[in-house]
Amino acid sequence: MHIAWLGKKSPFCGNVTYSREVTNALLDRDHRVSFFHFAQEEAAPDNWPDFQEISIPFLYKSQIYTLPSLRSRKVLEQALRALVPRPDVVHASLTLSPLDFYLPEICQELNLPLVATFHPPFDRKLRNLTSSTQYLMYQLYAPSLAKYDRVIVFSHLQREVLIQLGVPASRLAVIPNGVDIDKYSPGPSSLKAELGVDRVFLYQGRISPEKNVESLLKAWKQSRMGETAKLAIVGNHGPLAASLIPFYGPEHGIIWFGFIANERRRIEILRGCDVFILPSLVEGLSLSLLEAMACGVACVATDAGADGEVLEHEAGVILKTQGVATQLKTLLPQLRDHAAWTELLGQNARRRVEERYTLSDNISQLEALYTEVAAEVVPTPPLFTRRYA
């Protein structure tokens, strides 16, 4: 099949990883991919496939949202018309830009089936201001998502939220994120020797308010974890990190690695740590969490979004989104002192990913969905010329 993919290549975020991994896997299965993304001329990020690329002009883009230029819609429509062979499916890994709302109209005019992956994190219990704000995003998008041929979400919880907001159940497909379990797997690492410690705890992700990293940092500092344990923070620093680093530094056993573009290095860090912690207030289905689980790391995460569902039944430790720092202050020393427990959690985590969250299964489900929506397209009647006597 020929898939016209609309996604992100930069700046680095979960959407970027999703687009890279899925399009790589589709190419490996001999599908054709034309990749549309908001870009000026820029170098390709690490580990991207070689495929046809179409740049869409933009005014501003960030990890969270993108502001297209006034020409974006026209550029996208003309490029879709010009693709040879004609795409079988358009798949938009939604970039949270105004262009998302015009895609159903564009694809309907071109008679192209349209699939979306809807990434925004959520917490259906609305337990805090951040989750309430994310719920507004779902409310804003729901009327437009109802016009897509299919909308991919990562969990049944997310599906329920959108159904409540008016998106037809028949248009929603639950296809969880998947991890390449051959690439992300347990293995040797020099991380502990590099840091000179016995135990390593890790947070990997954005340093942003919804990720609630400060609660982890407070709990770590208050727990006095000692010189044999370190907390590694991997992620784009940004303005929030600048206000945290002065108060939570090496003197507290906290190492700020910053953003690491090299995937092999990120995998080495995952393999070398004992515990992965995700203290988010809202989530979708965290790829960072799944990657850590695939590497056999004991995982701790809040029950925001689908992360609690991933870790249920002893595949990890689940926290409530309220009082994260208090819960971690009690939990961190136990995770430090009980290596056999964390090793068992890591084994359970790896097994859970193998059973439910492999990239191979994800792509197989995606292929079936593409075939289904392509079959629903009513062929455009051929043009004909009337003859007059």
- Using pLDDT thresholds of 50, 70 and 90, give the confidence band for residue 384: very low
The confidence score (pLDDT) of residue 39 equals 85
Domain for residue 139, yes or no? yes
Mean pLDDT (whole number) for 78-101? 95
Mean pLDDT (whole number) for 2-26? 91
Q: Are residues 28 and 167 both part of a single domain?
A: yes
Domain for residue 382, yes or no? no
Instruction: Find the domain containing 56 and state its range.
Output: 2-178+359-375
The confidence score (pLDDT) of residue 306 equals 87
Mean pLDDT, the chain, whole residue set: 91
Domain for residue 290, yes or no? yes
Q: Are residues 151 and 37 both part of a single domain?
A: yes
CA distance 21 to 163: 28
For 322-363, how does the pLDDT look when each residue is reduced to its tens digit (9 = 90+)?
999 999 999 999 999 999 999 999 999 999 999 999 999 999
Residue 46 has pLDDT above 70, yes or no: no
Q: Are residues 218 and 304 both part of a single domain?
A: yes
Segment holding 25, helix H or strand E: helix 14-28
Q: Are residues 103 and 173 both part of a single domain?
A: yes
Residue 261 has pLDDT above 50, yes or no: yes
Mean pLDDT (whole number) for 24-42? 89
CA distance 240 to 217: 13
- CA end-to-end span of the chain: 45
The confidence score (pLDDT) of residue 174 equals 96
- The order of strands in the sheet holding 229-234 is 254-258, 229-234, 199-204, 275-278, 298-302, 317-319
Domain for residue 381, yes or no? no
Q: Are residues 284 and 365 both part of a single domain?
A: no
The CATH number of the domain holding residue 36 is 3.40.50.2000
Residue 371 has pLDDT above 50, yes or no: yes
The confidence score (pLDDT) of residue 284 equals 86
CA distance 309 to 305: 8
Residue 10 has pLDDT above 90, yes or no: no
The confidence score (pLDDT) of residue 305 equals 84
Q: Are residues 52 and 168 both part of a single domain?
A: yes
Based on the structure, what is the number of domains in the chain? Answer: 2
For 274-329, how does the pLDDT look when each residue is reduced to its tens digit (9 = 90+)?
999 999 998 889 999 999 999 999 999 999 888 998 999 999 999 999 999 999 99
Q: Are residues 14 and 135 both part of a single domain?
A: yes
Beta pairing partners, 301: 278, 318
The confidence score (pLDDT) of residue 386 equals 44
Domain for residue 185, yes or no? no
Considering the chain, what percentage of its residues have pLDDT values greater than 90?
Answer: 76
- Using pLDDT thresholds of 50, 70 and 90, give the confidence band for residue 273: very high
Q: Are residues 309 and 327 both part of a single domain?
A: yes
Domain for residue 383, yes or no? no
Classify 313 in phi/psi space as left (phi over 0), alpha (psi -120 to 50) or beta.
left
Q: Are residues 218 and 174 both part of a single domain?
A: no
Q: Are residues 204 and 332 both part of a single domain?
A: yes
Domain for residue 184, yes or no? no
The confidence score (pLDDT) of residue 282 equals 87
Q: Are residues 170 and 150 both part of a single domain?
A: yes
Residue 127 has pLDDT above 70, yes or no: no
Domain for residue 266, yes or no? yes
* E-assigned strand segments in 160-221: 172-174, 199-204
The confidence score (pLDDT) of residue 11 equals 80
Mean pLDDT (whole number) for 226-239? 89
Structure tokens that stand for 277 in this block: 């912690």
- Kindly calculate the radius of gyration of the chain based on its CA atoms and give it in whole angstroms: 22
Q: Are residues 215 and 127 both part of a single domain?
A: no
